[in-house]
Structure 1
Amino acid sequence: MFTGIVEEVGEVVDVRTDDDVVVLTVRAALAAEVGHGESVAVNGCCLTAVVPEGTEPGPALTLELVPETLKRTSLGAIAAGSGVNLERAVPAGGRLDGHIVQGHVDGIGTLVSRDPGERSDALRFSLPAELSRYVVEKGSIAVDGVSLTVAAVYPDGFGVALIPTTLADTTLGTRTPGDPVNLEVDVIAKYVERMTAGYLQGPGSGTEGAAR
């Protein structure tokens, strides 16, 4: 589990294909503290670190992307030189500074526009239609792994307001209109929907069991 509080912006230094797996190498200071098999959120996508047997963690992370990840996230288009938001899994008993983020990307959105202020920016993103019911004003959403508060809801998307720290310490500060972003909606909303579906649809719907 993650919190959506980005620890570092890493740099992708290599992208290679090994059969049907894409292997990313990401230079980052936190790589020295990540062991084999540990989870790291990369632009909001939970990936597993690979440290070859007999070696120690080094200055870069090695991460493997399978076809499912490539299909469902924006990481399939990642290239060397790209910056990526990184966050290690939150430890048990650690602070939940953002919100509950699983690192399971629900869909890909697009930055539609950004309205720069003197120190803050207002950004508007498109949203896949099937995710719109989970997004509410003043609710939480993860955009490329960054925990954000929804400032506005539109028929085809949502808006957020970025503080100076977010602009400086995440890749959202350099995103331009047209850029794709990974989106993860609030998991609590999805569970509530699933658990109440049978009651909301009423007797005879055939889904009553899902509500128990």
Structure 2
Amino acid sequence: MFTGIIQALGMIKPLEGDFWQITCVTQSSNVIMQDLAMGDSIAVDGICLTVEKVLKDGFIATASPETLRRTTLGQEQTQQRYVNLEASLRVGSKVGGHFVMGHVDGIGQLMSAQATATSWEMTFTAPKAIAHYIVPKGSIAINGISLTVADYEPELSQFKVSVIPLTYAETNLQSLSSGGWVNLEGDILGKYVEKFLLFGKQDLKQSTDTIPSDISPAFLVEHGYL
């Protein structure tokens, strides 16, 4: 589990087979490297990868066929590029963003990026399978970055985020051009809410009579699910 607060930038390149080499390239990379060990989980552009070999300034990991199919790793396998890095959340650590699982739902595309006086306003597309998890003021992970949805246009499957200058400068959003692909992960809370709405009534009735069986969007809002 991660929080969507990027700790360092790296460069990723494919090796033979399904192996990928990730090299840390920023001064803050000691946060990633200080006690990195084989078997650790690192979010690479929001993709949870397992460290299989520790290098002097990075590590090697494997991407499964499913990972390649769902993420940007399967889009440009021969191109070396910047990736966002975050070590897995430790017990007692601060949760500065939101709970990010590192299980990418699919890929989206940058439509536009415009600098304002206080932020970068970036508009992305999202596949329909992901779009229904997007709500205004809700959370979404873009290349592993925890961001807040500023606006959402369901008819276009597009959403907008406002990125503060610090986040823009410290992540690979700065090198993303129009038409570029990004990894998207919807908020895990929305996925559980969806499960309860679709299957909760039947499951709850079978398990106990003490839990309300009339779970609805209005019920969830009333009890704190916005």
Same-fold status (TM-score > 0.5): yes
**Equivalence for 1:204:** none
Could you say what secondary structure the match of 2:132 adopts? helix
Aligned mates of 2:5, 2:188 — CA distance in 1: 17
Summarize the alignment of residues 166-205 of structure 1 with structure 2, pairs less than 5 Å apart: 166-198=167-199
Aligned mates of 1:84, 1:199 — CA distance in 2: 38
1:138–1:150: 8 Å Cα contact kept in structure 2? yes
1:32–1:59: 8 Å Cα contact kept in structure 2? no
The 1:144/1:120 distance shift into structure 2, 3 A limit, reads same
**Equivalence for 2:65:** 67
**Equivalence for 1:27:** 23
* 1:155-187 deviation digits (Å, cap 9, x = unpaired): 211000010101110001221110010000001
Paired letter, 1:24? W
Post-superposition offset of 1:45:
0.4
TM normalised by structure 2 equals 0.82
Post-superposition offset of 1:120:
1.9
Paired letter, 1:181? V
Post-superposition offset of 1:79:
4.0
Post-superposition offset of 1:109:
0.4
**Equivalence for 2:8:** 8
Paired letter, 1:45? I
**Equivalence for 1:162:** 163
Unpaired stretches in structure 1, ≥5 consecutive residues: 201-207
Paired letter, 1:164? P
Which segment is superposed worse, 119-128 or 144-153?
Answer: 119-128
* 1:129-178 deviation digits (Å, cap 9, x = unpaired): 12222111000000000000000001211000010101110001221110
The 1:61/1:135 distance shift into structure 2, 3 A limit, reads same
Aligned mates of 1:79, 1:96 — CA distance in 2: 34
Considering only aligned residues, what root-mean-square deviation do their CA atoms show, in Å? Answer: 1.8
The 1:199/1:164 distance shift into structure 2, 3 A limit, reads same
Aligned mates of 1:145, 1:3 — CA distance in 2: 9
Q: Matched residue pairs, number?
A: 197
Unpaired stretches in structure 2, ≥5 consecutive residues: 208-226
* Match 2:203 to one of 193, 209, 212: 209
* 1:60-117 deviation digits (Å, cap 9, x = unpaired): 2111111111001111224453100000001011111100000000111000111122
Which segment is superposed worse, 168-177 or 139-148?
Answer: 168-177
TM normalised by structure 1 equals 0.87
Post-superposition offset of 1:32:
4.8
**Equivalence for 1:49:** 51
Paired letter, 1:35? A
Paired letter, 2:47? C
Are 1:129 and 2:143 matched, yes or no? Answer: no
Summarize the alignment of residues 64-143 of structure 1 with structure 2, pairs less than 5 Å apart: 64-76=62-74, 77-143=76-142
**Equivalence for 1:203:** none
Aligned mates of 1:87, 1:79 — CA distance in 2: 23
Paired letter, 2:19? V
1:10–1:83: 8 Å Cα contact kept in structure 2? yes
